[in-house]
Structure 1
Amino acid sequence: MMPPDEPPPALAPSVQPSSSEGIYSTPSGNVDLWAEAYKLVTDREPELMADYNTHLATLQESATTGGDLFTPQFVQGIVQQLFEAREKKQWRVTLMGKDIRIREQAEGLAKFLLWSDPIVKNAVSTQPYAALAWSGISLLLPLLTSSTTQNEAMLEGFNLIGHVQVYWRICEITYLGTERRTAYQELIEPIAKLYSYIIEYQAHAICHLSSAQLSRAWRNITDENKWAGKAREIDELSKRSREYISPLNENEIRERWNAQLKEIQTSHQIERDMVQTMKEGIQDEKERRLFEDLARAAGTYERYKNINPRRVHGTCKWFLEDKRFCRWRDSTSSHLLWLSAGPGRGKSVLTRSLIDEGLLTTNPTTTTITSSRIVTSVTTSTVCYFFFKDGGDGRMDGAHALCTILHQLFKNPSTSRLIEHALPKHKENSKTLAEKFSELWRILVDSASSPGAGEIVCILDALDECKEDSRREIIETLKDFCCPRDGPPSPSRLKFLITSRPYDDLEWAFGKYPTTAAYWRFDGDEKSDQISQEIDLVIDARVQDIAAGFTDDGKRQISERLKSTKNRTYLWLHLTFDIIQNTPSRYSKLSDIQKLLSDLPSEVSDAYEKILTSYLGLKLVVEDILREDSIGIDLQWGTQGTALQIASGGGYKEIVQMLLDKGADVNINRE
């Protein structure tokens, strides 16, 4: 085992340790690693910890106990006040931004806070420094008001810290608080050092957000990459500390650790589905059965969104800054926007970013935390979505899409009361309601027309992958909604965004919409030049990942070669990078990658065929299909035909069988 790379400094005379080794001990004689960690970080970052102490002092109801971080009574009083404040009243954490990932991380931290309450209660009197460290989220959340990218990185770090704390708490209980303690004495110093960096991270975050009169003599963190770097530093320290544990014992701890994290995640899912989405008002048995039927029919719809990568910063502007999108987004009445574009234009990545980054809304989110629950309310548009996927689970038709949208609508705290509009139909049809498109559509329109429903935005991604008969029904229904034959337009604020490839039947169906309809067309292929420029940003970002060990000049050469390809698309880029990433041993040198890139034709259409005629390239495409990635199983690849036809022609029996098992159509003719 390697010794610690940097032993902690000796304790200062002003702090009186209670053991001869210089490490704090609890009344029971167990090591108080968190108390020692506070000493270490104070020696390392005195200005930061002085300001942290100043912020903690502002939380006191009175100054009678003093304001010294090295006074256990002071620390105990702060933790007790934090806990009692949440017991007596609700916390409200309002985020003024629009990024859903920020909100989800804040909710995850709040759930972790509730899970760790027993730890804080048990430690506050005997180990106040440990209790304060486990209360870091209690200090953070009331200060969090902005959904900035920097705050997202900060919260990601807090989530990582929580996982690290859970791991080492298990280790402390198992090895440092029992008869095994003597055998693991060498763990004490590295864990104390690790804990000191956790405290430093918490102090940086809380002082960064604090409105107290702080000195700022320490170096403030103002960049998302630096927050990520601080978190990685903690993760690396944790990994190095694990080297002191035998592999057998480490496996035991890891199993218990994974079980604890799963318990937190499961509790979070229950909280979302039972508290956040159903609220107190949805306790009726009839409503519960309806909600369960919709959930069962909807299936695991989130994964079809999440299989698409997140957009690289600076991309999707070809759509987000276009006046047609802005006009549709800002309209205050029901409207339909159809975005069509060829394969590989980034439609699904765009759709995911609209949902995850909250790009359809600008209003605040409020997370209310009580002693036993978390309730999140969003004063904003309600965004519901469905990603059609050829070969995906479920029916992948209009009824499936509407079940998913209604499930999300009734799950949202601000619109959960609208479930009352579905009860009569559910009573009439029971479980078969989930199969009846017209009945589900009526429920959606009635819900959206209800007073106080607000704006409801429905996104249907990849409509071309919906079953043909069903997509015709969807388009006809939307036409009647946008331009009703009889009577005035719907008073609702129900908007639709449809994305698809520009197939002939879709062009013909949407072409029948009258000019008076509340409908706009957005042809993404008109933006091909701008999309190609944005692909260059993705190339630069991805090259940093796949060529992390290469020189800057080597990275530049790879980027320039990829950017020289004409008519490049995201799909082509995805296939090219997959070849490199899935065979790292073949492309570990710059010369290997240069040869691969030089062998690729300069035209994208030719590159597709060259990639797919190799066993490896074709296998990568098929693996994407089997992962339910964004490539349709029966997609025509230029003159080569479908993946099944290419595999059959190449004699790749294994791939043929994989595609047949997945449901590939053997009767499709080459285009």
Structure 2
Amino acid sequence: MASINLEQVMDKLKQRAMDYAETKSRIDPPFESTCEWLRENSTYKQWIDQPFDRLFVVADPGIGKSVLAKSVIDEFQKVQETEDIFVCYYFFEKSVAYRKNLSMALCALIHQVVMEHGDSTSNLLSDLSQSIHLIGDGVLEQPIRLWNVFRKVSESTGKQIICVLDALNNCEDLIELLELLASDAWTSEKIKVKFFLTSRLTGALAWFINHPDKPSEYRVIDANDEGNKEKIREEIKGFLRKRVSGHANMQLYNIASPNEISTLVNDLHQNGKATTYLWADLILKDLSSPRNRRLLSSKLLRRVRAFPSSLNSVYAKMLSEVGRPEVTRSLLLIALAARRALTWSETGWLSLASKNGFIVPLAAF
């Protein structure tokens, strides 16, 4: 096998990491005056002040964890030139096979650090280059080896490295990632790397962060804590108000006055309904649908009061409103159980077959 130069190593890292920047670009930026609950959190402020720390932000679906992660990345990227810091990141995605793999995430982190710091870090890839030369590209599928490379290149920058990893619950190698985070490889005074980690509170993660012997460098912010939950609810209320109150939006929602806006937002917010951004977004989309645009504001408010109070009940309502819910349910189950993603034509064929009463064996997919 021919020797591998550093440029080729970087190309291999990039190919393995896929387009990590594209994933970030697809996430909406935070809406005005949102994510402030995190900035005000004392645990977050303590994390900022430490050169090495692991901060876990755990939250239920729909709270905006990925938007929160993006806001942290953007916040530090704005000052990384003047404050001698560098931000690297990765967004795990459950729905995309190659974006839930730990080795791919580590390739992305290494690629970002080396691309930014060039000569000061590239010489540290020589061992990786030699390993690829001797063993092959399979080296880039070994998390422990890649973790050590990331640690070394981070140390060589001499900067404070901030590593943002979003949606750990989507990582198929979560336990291995947690073990690496728990290792003492980051305790050297020369290494200044701190981690901002978001996740749902899965079983493995719950055990990990609640373990009595966990290091003191572990900090946890739970969005479900009563104080955080109330602040998030207030931010969602402001989000709803601003989304509805623009002149164009007032016409879109068939609302004529600020008083009606206030009534609409309060009705959306009452009884603990507006507890997630995902719920609020689904409701606003429903309100602005052509069917609802024709409603007078009084009828619109009656519809608001009848809205389901949780995401699960919203989804159940959506399913109940399709023409043949049993067909839709069958199609969803088939798509979920299929061994690979279905093509558009296969989906159309499935729909046609189901409508005509044919039984489609899962083994066909």
TM tier relative to shorter chain: 0.7 to 0.9
* Structure 2 equivalent of residue 611 of structure 1: 317
Look up the equivalent residue of 1:461 and give its one-letter code.
Answer: D
Deviation for aligned residue 1:604: 2.6
With a CA cutoff of 8 Å and minimum separation of 6, indicate the structure with the bigger relative contact order. Answer: 2
TM-score, length-normalised on structure 1? Answer: 0.45
Q: Provide the rounded CA distance (Å) in 2 between the counterparts of 1:393 and 1:615.
A: 32
* Structure 2 equivalent of residue 536 of structure 1: 237
Q: How big is each residue's C-alpha offset from its partner over 1:456-511, in whole Å with a ceiling of 9 and x where there is no partner?
A: 111111101111xx1100101110137x7xxx645200111111111222111233
- Change over 3 Å in CA distance of 1:649–1:517 after alignment to 2: farther
Q: 1:383 aligns with which of 77, 80, 87?
A: 87
Q: Provide the rounded CA distance (Å) in 1 between the counterparts of 2:44 and 2:85.
A: 16
Q: Provide the rounded CA distance (Å) in 2 between the counterparts of 1:504 and 1:349.
A: 23
Identity of aligned residues (%): 22
Q: Provide the rounded CA distance (Å) in 2 between the counterparts of 1:379 and 1:416.
A: 20
Look up the equivalent residue of 1:533 and give its one-letter code.
Answer: E
Q: 1:328 aligns with which of 47, 52, 76?
A: 47
- Change over 3 Å in CA distance of 1:508–1:360 after alignment to 2: farther
- Change over 3 Å in CA distance of 1:416–1:399 after alignment to 2: farther
* Structure 2 equivalent of residue 305 of structure 1: 24
* Structure 2 equivalent of residue 596 of structure 1: 303
* Structure 2 equivalent of residue 338 of structure 1: 56
Look up the equivalent residue of 2:196 and give its one-letter code.
Answer: L
Look up the equivalent residue of 2:41 and give its one-letter code.
Answer: D
Deviation for aligned residue 1:350: 0.8
Q: How big is each residue's C-alpha offset from its partner over 1:236-269, in whole Å with a ceiling of 9 and x where there is no partner?
A: xxxxxxxxxxxxxxxxxxxxxxxxxxxxxxxxxx
TM-score, length-normalised on structure 2? Answer: 0.79
- Mapped contact 1:287–1:419 kept (Cα < 8 A): yes
Structure 2 residue 163 is the aligned partner of structure 1 residue 462: no
* Structure 2 equivalent of residue 400 of structure 1: 104
Unaligned runs of 5+ in 1: 1-284, 366-377, 620-646, 665-671
* Structure 2 equivalent of residue 353 of structure 1: 71
- Equivalent residue runs for 1:208-287 within 5 Å: 286-287=5-6
Question: Whose Rg is larger?
Answer: 1
- Mapped contact 2:110–2:153 kept (Cα < 8 A): no
- Mapped contact 1:386–1:459 kept (Cα < 8 A): yes
- Change over 3 Å in CA distance of 1:590–1:419 after alignment to 2: farther
- Change over 3 Å in CA distance of 1:463–1:516 after alignment to 2: closer
* Shift >4 Å, 4+ stretches: 647-664
Q: 1:572 aligns with which of 260, 279, 282?
A: 279
Secondary structure, counterpart of 2:32 in structure 1? coil
Deviation for aligned residue 1:419: 2.4
Look up the equivalent residue of 1:613 and give its one-letter code.
Answer: L
* Structure 2 equivalent of residue 433 of structure 1: 139
* Structure 1 equivalent of residue 249 of structure 2: 547
- Mapped contact 1:298–1:404 kept (Cα < 8 A): yes
- Mapped contact 2:53–2:195 kept (Cα < 8 A): yes
- Equivalent residue runs for 1:8-19 within 5 Å: none
Q: Provide the rounded CA distance (Å) in 2 between the counterparts of 1:459 and 1:479.
A: 16
- Mapped contact 1:409–1:416 kept (Cα < 8 A): no
Q: Provide the rounded CA distance (Å) in 2 between the counterparts of 1:512 and 1:536.
A: 35
- Change over 3 Å in CA distance of 1:566–1:394 after alignment to 2: same
- Mapped contact 1:329–1:360 kept (Cα < 8 A): no
Q: Provide the rounded CA distance (Å) in 1 between the counterparts of 2:95 and 2:59.
A: 21
- Mapped contact 1:397–1:471 kept (Cα < 8 A): no
Q: Provide the rounded CA distance (Å) in 2 between the counterparts of 1:648 and 1:663.
A: 24
Paired residues, number:
326
- Change over 3 Å in CA distance of 1:359–1:564 after alignment to 2: farther
Deviation for aligned residue 1:519: 1.7
Q: 1:560 aligns with which of 266, 282, 289?
A: 266
Q: Provide the rounded CA distance (Å) in 1 between the counterparts of 2:119 and 2:108.
A: 14
Q: Provide the rounded CA distance (Å) in 1 between the counterparts of 2:340 and 2:224.
A: 30
Q: Provide the rounded CA distance (Å) in 1 between the counterparts of 2:198 and 2:103.
A: 18
Q: Provide the rounded CA distance (Å) in 2 between the counterparts of 1:648 and 1:433.
A: 48
Secondary structure, counterpart of 1:505 in structure 2? helix
- Mapped contact 1:456–1:494 kept (Cα < 8 A): yes
Secondary structure, counterpart of 1:422 in structure 2? helix
Structure 2 residue 123 is the aligned partner of structure 1 residue 410: no
Q: 1:295 aligns with which of 7, 14, 19?
A: 14
Look up the equivalent residue of 1:547 and give its one-letter code.
Answer: N
* Structure 1 equivalent of residue 152 of structure 2: 446
- Mapped contact 1:388–1:465 kept (Cα < 8 A): yes
Q: How big is each residue's C-alpha offset from its partner over 1:539-591, in whole Å with a ceiling of 9 and x where there is no partner?
A: 1122246734242344333322212241521121122223345xx32122343
Deviation for aligned residue 1:426: 2.5
Structure 2 residue 220 is the aligned partner of structure 1 residue 521: yes
- Mapped contact 1:386–1:460 kept (Cα < 8 A): yes
